[in-house]
Every structure is written in C-alpha cells, then in structure tokens.
Amino acid sequence: MIDDDRIISDLDELETFLVTVESGSLGLNNAAGIVMATNNSDGRRFVAVLDDNHQLLLGRWVTEEVFQTGQDMVKNGTNRSH
C-alpha cells in the first residue's frame, strides 16, 4: 500500500507534508482530500492523500502520537502558506 518506509514522527513533519501536498508540488493528479487512516492488515497509522473516488494516491506512515495529535491539522489545514 505505502512503498515509502519514511515515518512522520512529529507535527512539524506532518505540517510540511500537508503543505507539500496542498501546494501541488508532488504532481498528484486528481487529489481531493487528505485523511488519517489505519492499515487494516497490521494496524499501522498513516496519512493518506485520496482522489475523487476515495482511492489512495499517496500515503505516509505516522507515529501513534502524530496520529492522535495531528488529526485537527489534517482536518482543518495548516496555518502556513504555500
């Protein structure tokens, strides 16, 4: 599901990831939303970029702490400009 083994381990890294996605610099086509999710097979937490059909375009693993404390940032966006 997620080919990248890098883990977002703090809120600054999460914010940087969100700004990068929102700015379009990753070149993701049809990105419609960003959510926090749990992998059904092993319970690992991740942040997911979804398309219009709710299909995963890009995912990045997050620590449990980032999953718990970063949900508002994912839901409401960052305060940082692009």
pTM of the predicted model, to two decimals?
0.86
Query: Does 33 fall in a domain?
Result: yes
Q: Does residue 59 form part of some domain? A: yes
Residue range 24-48, pLDDT digits in tens: 888 888 899 999 999 999 999 999 9
Tell whether 1 is covered by a domain.
no
Provide the 10 A C-beta neighbour count for residue 24: 11
- Structure confidence by residue, pLDDT tens digits, 40-69: 999 999 999 999 999 999 999 999 999 999
Q: How many domains does the chain have?
A: 1
Q: pLDDT at position 51, please?
A: 94
Q: Would residue 60 count as lying in a domain?
A: yes
- Structural domain boundaries, residue 15: 7-76
36 in any annotated domain:
yes
Q: Within a domain: residue 81? A: no
Using DSSP's 3-state secondary structure scheme, residue 45 falls into strand
Residue 56 in any domain: the answer is yes
Asked if the model's pLDDT at residue 75 lies above 60, the reply is yes
Order the strands of the 31-38 sheet from edge to edge: 7-8, 56-62, 45-51, 31-38
In a domain, 66, yes or no: yes
